[in-house]
Structure 1
Amino acid sequence: MNKGVVVVTGAAGLVGQAVCSVLQGSSMDLLPIVRQGACVDRGFPCDLTQPDALVGIEVPVSAIVHLAAAVPMAAEFPDTEEVAALTRAMDANVVALAKRFQCPVLYASSCGLYRKGSDLPKVEDLDEALDPCTPYLRAKYDGERLFLDYGNVVVMRISAPIGRGMRKTAIVSRFVEAALGEAPIRLWGSGARQQNFISVADIAAFVRLALGSDVRGVFNVAAPHPVSMRELAETVIDVMGAGRIEYADTPDPNERERADYDTTKAQRLLGWVAQETLASMLAELKGEQFRL
């Protein structure tokens, strides 16, 4: 990696804060890009959706960690084509900056690109396993193509991150709040639907390793094993010391969804394996005030 600053977009977000903390601990010079009005101690306020948003950056850029997107977890970003266009605009600004400085990019994509309910192995190089079925996911798929065409990129297909700063709308947040509020954790169907939860600390560790490597390409950044909604609820109850499970009289349309993402490529080429367990991730959320 050339000498210069590491630009981190989405630096005030759930993953961005963890990444910035780890990179600062590695003595890297950072230029955090944050949304205008973001409540953070430091960072460069910028509306990445506007044309030429990054042309004012004149310091040498050694690498870019691009985490920003109009993620539909937030109420102000419904999963529509109009909002997906905002994600594409951010990607266009970042790839223009990368081309100007000829620097590597770590691009945050999503394991949500994999086909739901499919028995195909969820490996990085199997295109037929993909099904970008919403406007947001199509934008992320287009982003992958954009940066892969640029060439100097590590695409991170991230599963479901857990860490401080999570939104109330996340399923983990809802389960934790239900347990601590003495309300039932309500499961649809049999509770067999799977998710793959990964700690933001493990994502940050992947970023640090990738920045120090010449390896390029697409990587699943996920936990080694998925968990069912039933297992999630049971672990929440165990860690929080409160709560109970109740089955809703509602079929789960995603009952067959499996989240076993293959991470052997990251282990083989970068020596990376997610370390945090579901229980240790949930323990970090004790006393957390989840944001809107």
Structure 2
Amino acid sequence: MPNAQLLAVLYMVLSMTSYQISASFAKQLFTVLDPVTVTILRLCFAAIIVCVMFRSWKIISRLPYLKWKDLLCYSAALGLMNILFYMSLGKLPQGIAVGLEFVGPLGLALLSIKHRSDYMWVFLAISGIILMVPWGQALHHQFDLIGAACALGAGLCWAFYIYFGQRVVQQNIGMHALTIAISISALCLLPIGLYQNAAQVIDTQYWGKALVIAILATAIPYALDLKALKQLTKASYGTLSSLSPALAAFTAFFLLGEKITSIQWIALGCIMLASVGVTIRAARQKIA
């Protein structure tokens, strides 16, 4: 695997690990704040962080010349993905929520496949996702269907996030695209949060935890994602992201004490195997 592509894979692993740790912290915060408020606080702090980090005020003179259609779609996907995922996280175990969310990027990977042999990896990933869901609980109404629907909706937004992220990268504005997207999402959601629950949004006792979550869940992962998208195809990025449920299960176990069944661990194995298979296949095609 070329050094540039290997580095892109490393970016992805670090991004997913940081995000899953933040998700566990956010789930702890759900005991005192609702998921929408946590999302808004996180995005507001993240917008400030990335603006300072990348000195994004330098891009102001170029704003009129940017392709705003792609940027707005990228921003919308980012904002909706975060709200829907946090809503699912408040109703489902973290590993299951992330597993269902992966349906989005997996579908994107499926559309990008060109060789029939690669469908084996997609089949493994789909099998893993099916095994992740406790269908017996779902049939007896012990499994939160609203949470599952939110996770699937987050997955659809994730697919759009990947697609428009690659288009935004082509505008050659670097990490400033991240600042613009997070800022737009935060500015659009903040009035909603203030209207519904202003007391919690402006309560400074929660700002410290929200700041930590913002760093781990937004500033670090999205910056690494944009770097990775420069080297990875939609198929390899989408399927490599299937490591997320495994990382979610591990972090939730260590930080929250959440446990999953043996069948769900088998499901995670299928997903990880699919991830490795498609990523290696994509690397070989690029070399050839």
TM-score by length of 2: 0.30
Instruction: Compare the two structures and name the one with the higher strand fraction.
Output: 1
TM-score by length of 1: 0.29
Instruction: Compare the two structures and name the one with the higher helix fraction.
Output: 2
Structure with the greater relative contact order (CA < 8 A, sep ≥ 6): 1 or 2? Answer: 2
